[in-house]
Structure formats: C-alpha cells, structure tokens
C-alpha cells in the first residue's frame, strides 16, 4: 500500500544536496560495500531509519550503481508488522522498472523494532560464510575473545562497547531458500542472545545493526575482521576463546 503523496512530495523524500541524507548515504555505502565484496551479485544491502521514515536499498540491482532515486521509502509505523508474505506500506516506490523491495525488509525491521537500531546492514561476506562452515553443523553461536577489534563492537549492537577481555558471542541460524523466511529465526536468535550485535546466517552472510549508520558500518567492519581472523585461527587449530 502506498500513502497518497504527490509526485513532488515523493521525490523530495530522496532528492537532497545533503551528503548525510539517507538516500545519498545508502547509494554511497553500497558502492563501498561492493568494493569490499560484501554486496556482490546484487545481493546484500543496507536500510537506514530516520525518525519515522525507513530508507531501503532496492533488490535485484547492481549495488554499486544505486542512485538516490532508486531508494524505497516506508513509514516505520506499518499497518502490520513486516513478515514473510505481508504487504508493506510505502511512502515512495521508485519509478524505474525492474526495481523491487528488498526481501531483507522484515529482517531489517527486526533490528529496528527489537533493538531500536537506526541502521542495519546485510552482507554476503565470504569471511562470515566461511566461519559458519568451519563451525559444527549443530553450533548455535560463534564466540571469540582477546582480540583488539572486539573493542569496536557494542553490546546488543546499540549499547556500550565491549572490552578486550570480553567474549563476543554471535548466534548462527540456518539459511532458507527465500531470504524473508529468515525473519522468525532471526527474531528468535535476537531474543535468545540479547547482547549479540549481529546474526550470522549459515552459508549466507551476516546481519549487523547499530544506533546510527556510522555505528552499524563500524561494527560491520570490526566483525568482518574478527570473522576473517577466526577463520585463520580455526584453520591453524588455535582456540578462539582464551581464559581470562
């Protein structure tokens, strides 16, 4: 369902000279994430909540070529909680043919509604995927301690930063054939692990969030570093968690 805004009002939601405007930020960040190998093959993306508006990168588009006019805008206050198969309320739908709302939408909403996050990033990082493959099939979480980059990660993704001596734990959930079908298992993992700043999806990637886009980006980078070093440690048969 789309709110009845005029064409000019809809365009005003995404066209701005301010480089900090969410539509400009999403376009810029997706280009940077593409360079990192996080959003290749049109997969992955980012959503930013600003007040009562949620800005969403489109699905099925080359992420390094996204423009502000390609961004979907939704009211945070939806007629019903976004879930698999549900219809969403929109303030703006891009006019460009072939663009569709991201299947990540209800998963982003988990971060917004359950953690009060201001931004959520989804990547297909090979480090994240490889880490889930090196863990036993029945492993429910990944743990690591005594790594400097842990200090860039926040409790629950939105709280205080962890210390060098803290043990970081991130739940691992199983992938599904359709991405939005991860919504319930992600929410269950967030309930079970309230201090986790992210959710790893086995053979898929990771969802990470923060109070702001800066915090979400910072944590995404720190976590990707930790995933990479953890993969190397596991292959070298080194323990991920040290005794204090």
Binding site for substrate, by residue number, is: 104
H/E segment holding residue 234: helix 213-235
Whole-number Å distance between alpha carbons of 63 and 56: 12
Whole-number Å distance between alpha carbons of 194 and 191: 6
List the beta bridge partners of residue 142: 170
Q: Catalytic site residue 148?
A: yes
Three-state SS sequence of 172-190: EECCCCCHHHHHHHHHHHH
| C-alpha pair distances (Å), 68 with each of 12, 32, 48 | 11, 15, 13
Burial class, 98, CB count within 10 angstroms (exposed 0-12 / middle 13-18 / buried 19+): exposed
Catalytic residue, from 32, 148, 214, 242: name it: 148
β pairing state of 167-173 and 198-201 = parallel
DSSP one-letter string for 180-224: GGGHHHHHHHHHH-TT-SEEEETTTEEEEEESSHHHHHHHHHHHH
What are the catalytic residues? 148
């Amino acid at each position: 369902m789309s709110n009845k805004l005029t064409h000019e009002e809809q365009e005003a939601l995404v066209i701005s000279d301010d480089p900090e405007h969410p539509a400009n930020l999403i376009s810029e960040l997706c280009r940077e994430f593409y360079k990192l190998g996080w959003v290749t093959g049109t997969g992955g993306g980012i959503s930013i909540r600003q007040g009562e508006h949620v800005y969403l990168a489109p699905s099925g588009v080359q992420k390094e070529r996204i423009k502000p006019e390609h961004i979907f805008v939704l009211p945070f206050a939806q007629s019903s909680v976004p879930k698999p198969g549900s219809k969403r309320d929109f303030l703006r739908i891009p006019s460009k043919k072939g663009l569709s709302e991201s299947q990540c939408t209800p998963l982003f909403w988990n971060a917004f509604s359950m953690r009060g996050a201001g931004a959520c990033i989804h990547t297909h990082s090979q480090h994240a995927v490889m880490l889930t493959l090196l863990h036993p099939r029945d492993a429910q979480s990944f743990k690591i301690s005594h790594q400097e980059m842990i200090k860039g990660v926040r409790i629950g993704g939105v709280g205080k930063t962890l210390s060098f001596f803290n043990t970081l734990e991130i739940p691992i959930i199983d992938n599904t054939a359709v991405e939005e079908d991860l919504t319930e298992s992600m929410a269950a993992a967030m309930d079970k692990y309230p201090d986790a700043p992210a959710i790893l999806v086995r053979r898929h990637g990771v969802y990470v969030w923060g109070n702001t886009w800066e915090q979400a980006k910072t944590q995404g980078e720190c976590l990707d570093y930790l995933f990479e070093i953890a993969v190397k440690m596991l292959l070298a048969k080194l323990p991920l968690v040290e005794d204090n």
